[in-house]
Amino acid sequence: MPDIAYEQARHGSSIGQPLTRRDGILKVTGAATYAADNRPEGLLHAVVAVSRIARGRVTHLDVAAAKGHPGVVAVMTGANAPKLAQDPDAKDNPFMFRLDLLQSDQVRYAHQPIAVVIAETLEAATEGAELLAPRYAVEPARIGLDVEAPQEPDAVGAGDKARASRGDVEAGLAEAERRIETVYETAAQYHNALEPHAIVAQWDGDRLIVDTPSQGLGMAQMRLAALFGLDPKNILVRSPFLGGGFGSKGLLSGPQVLGVMAAKLVGRPVKLVLRREQMFGPVGHRAETRQTLRLGTDASGALTALDHHTLTATSSFDDFYEPASALSRYLYAAPAVSTGHSGVRVDTGTPLFMRAPGEASGSVALEGAIDEMAEACGLDPLDFRLKNYAEAEPISGRPFSSKALRECYAQGAARFGWDKRAKAPRSMRDSAGRLVGYGVGTALFPALMMQAEARAEIRADGTGTVALGAHDMGQGAWTALAQIAADGLGIDLAQLDFQSGRSDLPNAGIAGGSAHTATAGSAIHSATSAVLAQLAELATGDERSPLYGAGNAGVFARGGRLLRRDDEGRGESFADILARAGRASVSAEGKAAPDSASREAYAMHSHGAVFAEVSVDPDLGQIRVTRLVGAFAAGRIVNPRLVTSQYYGGMIWGVSFALHENAVLDPRSGRVMNANLGEYHVPVNADVPAIEAILVEEYDPHVNPLGIKGVGEIGITGTAGAIANAVYHATGIRVRKTPITLDLLLG
Nearest-angstrom CA–CA distance, 34 and 37:
5
Distances (CA, A) of 396 to 328, 337, 357: 12, 10, 21
Binding of other proteins by 85 (CB under 8 A):
no
Measured from the CB atom, the residue of 521 and 621 that comes closer to other proteins is 621
Neighbour-count burial of 79, counting CB atoms closer than 10 A to its CB (0-12 exposed, 13-18 middle, 19+ buried): exposed
x-marked contacts with other proteins along 189-208 as a string, rule CB under 8 A:
---xxxxx------------
Smallest separation, CB 288 to other proteins (Å): 15
Distance, in Å, from the CA atom of 743 to the CA atom of 461, rounded to the nearest integer, reads 67
- Give the Cβ contact number of residue 342 at 10 Å: 19
| Contact flag: residue 493 with other proteins (CB under 8 A) | no
SS (H, E, C) 439-489: EEEEEEEECCCCCEEEEEEEECCCCEEEECECCCCCCCHHHHHHHHHHHHH
Cis peptide before 88 (omega within 30 of 0): no
Asked whether position 743 contacts other proteins by CB under 8 A, the answer is: yes
- Pick one of 15, 65, 122, 593: the residue that binds other proteins (CB under 8 A): 122
Site for other proteins in 4-33 (CB under 8 A): 20-21, 23-33
Helices then strands, counting H and E runs in the chain, come out as: 15, 29
Kindly give the pairing relationship between strand 160-161 and strand 155-156. antiparallel
678 binds other proteins (CB under 8 A): yes
Please say whether the beta carbons of 740 and 727 come within 8 A. yes
Residue 632 binding other proteins, by CB under 8 A: no
Among 163, 276, 345, 599, binds other proteins (CB under 8 A): 276
- Asked whether position 690 contacts other proteins by CB under 8 A, the answer is yes
Q: Which stretch binds other proteins (CB under 8 A): 147-155, 236-244, 262-270, 573-581?
A: 236-244
CA distance 732 to 424: 9
Helix 516-540 with 477-489: angle, nearest 10 deg = 20
Q: Taking the complex as a whole, how short is the minimal distance between the CB of residue 258 and other proteins, in angstroms?
A: 19
Closest approach of other proteins to the CB of residue 32, in Å? 5
Complex with other proteins: residue 585 or 645, whichever CB lies closer: 645
Q: Residue 193 or residue 311: which is nearer to other proteins going by CB?
A: 193
Regarding 619 and contact with other proteins (CB under 8 A), the answer is yes
Q: Compute the distance between CA of residue 87 and CA of residue 11 in angstroms, rounded to an integer.
A: 53
Catalytic entry in 288, 453, 613, 713? 713
Rounded CA gap, 182 and 331, in Å? 18
Stretch that binds other proteins, among 9-17, 117-125, 569-577, 591-599 (CB under 8 A): 117-125
Q: Which residues contact 397 (CB under 8 A, 6 or more apart)?
A: 166
Pick between residue 84 and residue 273 the one whose CB is nearest to other proteins. 273
677 binds other proteins (CB under 8 A): yes
Q: From 153-161, 289-297, 359-367, 618-626, give the range in contact with other proteins by CB under 8 A.
A: 618-626
62, 105, 123, 407: which one binds other proteins (CB under 8 A)? 123
Is 447 one of the binding residues for other proteins (CB under 8 A)?
Answer: no
Residues paired with residue 238 on neighbouring β-strands, in sequence order:
211, 502
Q: Which of 129/395 has CB closer to other proteins? A: 129
Site string for other proteins, 656-675 (x = CB under 8 A): ---xx---xxxxxx-x-xx-
SS3 label, residue 334: coil
Site membership for other proteins, residue 424 (CB under 8 A) = no
User: What does the angle CA 703 – CA 707 – CA 708 come to, to the nearest 5 degrees?
Assistant: 90
Distance CA 578, CA 546 (A): 14
Rule CB under 8 A: which of 456-475 touch other proteins?
472-475
Chain positions 30 to 49 lying near other proteins, rule: CB under 8 A, are 30-34, 36-37, 39, 45
Neighbours of 430 (CB within 10 A): 11
| Residues in binding contact with other proteins, number by CB under 8 A | 104
Contact with other proteins (CB under 8 A): which of 184, 246, 280, 611?
246
Query: Beta-carbon neighbour count of residue 146 at 10 Å?
Result: 10
Minimum distance between the CB of residue 178 and other proteins, rounded to whole angstroms? 32
CB of 648 to other proteins, least distance (A): 5
The answer to whether the beta carbons of residues 438 and 418 sit under 8 Å apart is yes
> Does position 240 bind other proteins by CB under 8 A?
no
Are the C-beta atoms of 54 and 348 separated by less than 8 Å?
Answer: yes
Cβ 105 to other proteins shortest distance, Å = 18
Measured distance CA(432)–CA(205) in Å, rounded: 70
Residues forming a β-bridge with 459: 585
Q: Which residues within the stretch 582-601 sit at the binding site for other proteins (CB under 8 A)?
A: none
Q: Which of 622, 697, 699, 701 binds other proteins (CB under 8 A)?
A: 622
**What is the distance between the terminal CA atoms of the chain, rounded to a whole angstrom?**
57
CA distance 325 to 56: 33
Q: Identify the three-state secondary structure at position 135.
A: strand
DSSP state, 708? B
Alpha-carbon distances, residue 266 vs 75, 77, 113 (angstroms): 10, 13, 18
Considering the complex, what minimum distance in angstroms separates the CB of residue 689 from other proteins?
Answer: 6
Applying CB under 8 A, which of residues 58, 173, 273, 346 lies at the interface with other proteins? 273
Q: Does 137 bind other proteins (CB under 8 A)?
A: no
Of residues 140, 267, 549, 689, which one binds other proteins by CB under 8 A?
689
Of the residues 679, 697, 699, 701, which one makes contact with other proteins according to CB under 8 A: 679
Binding mask 148-187 for other proteins (x = CB under 8 A): ----------------------------------------
Distance CA 52, CA 115 (A): 12
Residues 529 to 558: which contact other proteins by CB under 8 A? none
C-beta closer to other proteins: residue 126 or 552: 126
Binding mask 330-369 for other proteins (x = CB under 8 A): ----------------------------------------
Can 372 be counted among the known catalytic residues?
A: no
Full 3-state SS string of 579-632: HHHCCCEEEEEEEECCCHHHHHHCECEEEEEEEEEEEECCCCCCEEEEEEEEEE
The span of 371-379, 443-451, 503-511, 646-654 binding other proteins (CB under 8 A) equals 646-654
CB nearer other proteins, residue 586 or residue 628: 628
**Distance of closest approach, residue 171 Cβ to other proteins, in angstroms:** 42
One of 432, 543, 566, 600 touching other proteins (CB under 8 A): 432
Kindly tell me the sign of the dihedral angle through the C-alpha atoms of 167, 172, 173, 178.
Answer: negative
The continuous run of DSSP H or E covering 73 comes out as strand 72-76
Q: Which are the contacts of 123, defined by CB distance < 8 A and separation ≥ 6? A: 71
- Residues annotated as catalytic are 713
